[in-house]
């Protein structure tokens, strides 16, 4: 299994929600494990993946996983201990009025980065693997991740709204 790349139609679909019957199933547990394992091995020289949505592995379902341990610059390394967040049928229920321009990339759009306007803060309502509803608020990078991954579930890629795109590392001031 590998990460689906730009051009694959599944990345442009609106993902289907999980039914109540699917919570706690072996299939859901297996899907989350596959996504987590893949997120751990899919990296490049410029970044380590912090989150992955189900459409990125070819599954058009409303699910994303986040490696919280990789959202802090001090612990954003491939060898850090996993601290996983699972968001099933997520939706943003609150966001700040203020938007900030953030640099962004995506494992489904290899080696391309750009600047994307994102809400400074966002609160997500979702379900865990067992079907328990929860909310999680965030600012900064984690708020950006929530918006980026929910965009994936709605068939939107960051390049649809990015400006000043570049390949590999960010442009240098010395150019």
Spatial distance between the Cα atoms of 33 and 96, rounded to a whole number of angstroms? 32
Task: Spell out where the chain has E strands.
Answer: 51-53, 63-67, 84-95, 99-106, 109-119, 121-127, 133-139, 163-167
Beta-carbon neighbour count of residue 24 at 10 Å? Answer: 12
22, 104, 129, 149: the active-site residue: 149
Phi, psi of 114 (to 5 degrees): -165, 175
Between β-strands 63-67 and 84-95, what pairing exists: parallel, antiparallel or unpaired?
Answer: antiparallel
Q: Active-site residue 149, yes or no?
A: yes
- Which residues form the catalytic set? 149
């Amino acid at each position: 299994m590998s990460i689906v790349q730009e051009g694959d139609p599944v990345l442009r679909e609106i993902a289907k929600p999980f039914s109540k019957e699917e919570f706690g199933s072996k299939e859901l547990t297996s899907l989350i494990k596959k996504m987590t394992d893949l997120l751990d091995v899919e990296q490049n020289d410029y970044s380590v993946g912090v989150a992955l949505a189900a459409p990125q592995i070819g599954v058009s379902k409303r699910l994303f996983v986040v490696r919280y341990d990789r959202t802090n610059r001090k612990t954003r390394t491939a060898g850090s201990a996993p601290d996983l967040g699972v968001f099933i049928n997520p939706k943003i229920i609150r966001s700040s009025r203020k938007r900030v321009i953030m640099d962004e990339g995506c494992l489904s759009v290899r080696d391309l980065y750009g600047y994307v306007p994102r809400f400074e803060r966002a609160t997500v309502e979702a379900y865990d693997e067992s079907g328990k509803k929860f909310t999680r608020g965030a600012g900064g990078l984690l708020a950006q991740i929530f918006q980026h991954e929910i965009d994936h579930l709605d068939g939107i890629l960051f390049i649809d709204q990015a400006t000043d795109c570049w390949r590999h590392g960010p442009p240098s001031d010395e150019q």
